[in-house]
Amino acid sequence: MKSITIQGTKRESVGKKSTKALRDAELVPCVVYGGAETLNFSAEERAFKGLVYTPEAHTVSIEVDGQTIPAVLQDIQFHPITDKILHADFYQLADDKPVVMEVPVRITGRAKGVVSGGAMRQTYRKLKLKALPANLPDEIVVDVTPLKIGNKLYVGDIKTNNFTFMHPDNAVVVAVKMSRTAMKGGAAVEDDEEETAAEGEAPEAEATSAE
């Protein structure tokens, strides 16, 4: 998985006054859990641009006072009106400790149901999974080509490689729904017609003999 670097400064005081002063200076109060000691630090808000304002997933290298700490973002708080970052929580990575994080879902292929006029609905843009740091994937790729109208792709349908999803197997990731266009075109019976045609030309033969 890709990593970005955030340079920070250790916080000696964590009170409300010091926190407000940091925010007034356009700095973000941060904390790193999971290590031998909890680390409180601050970083420039612009340092989060490549981590927060992107659909991609990243690990983070936090550089504070000559120390580099590998971590993942666990939680981030925004101001309800200005959307400024108010606080960020990180979790320190260790090679032998699984970590939980969200990874983007990338759709490939064109669903058969969409070709027939149906509409695809993607329920999850990201999926939460658990893995050792070395096994964290950059993205989850799902091929929707086989999906017909009415079909759904569940979390349990996705193959995993050294990681575990934190969602139930019956959680729907993608579904192909009936649309007005498909209804007008009679696509609702498309699957039945395809199956009948696959069995041969029996219906036409019967019509000929009847004459």
Residue labelled with tokens 């993607």: 122
- What pTM value is reported for the model? 0.76
- Cα separation of 61 and 125, whole Å? 25
pLDDT digits (tens, 9 = 90+) for 158-208: 999 899 999 999 999 999 998 766 566 555 444 444 443 444 444 444 443
At 23 the pLDDT is 87
At 185 the pLDDT is 57
Would you list the domain boundaries of the chain? 3-93, 101-191
Q: Return the beta strands (E) in 93-193 as ranges.
A: 99-108, 119-122, 126-131, 140-143, 152-154, 164-165, 172-177
pLDDT digits (tens, 9 = 90+) for 142-155: 999 999 999 999 99
- What number is the average pLDDT over the span 54-61? 92
Domain 3-93 fold is Ribosomal Protein L25; Chain P (2.40.240)
For residue 21, CA distances in Å to 87, 121, 201, 210 come to 13, 45, 79, 91
Pairing of strands 27-33, 39-44: antiparallel
What is the share, in percent, of the chain residues with pLDDT greater than 70? 85
Q: Residue 109: pLDDT above 70?
A: yes
Contact between 175 and 123 under an 8 Å Cβ cutoff? The reply is yes
Domain 101-191: what homologous superfamily?
Answer: Ribosomal protein L25, C-terminal domain (2.170.120.20)
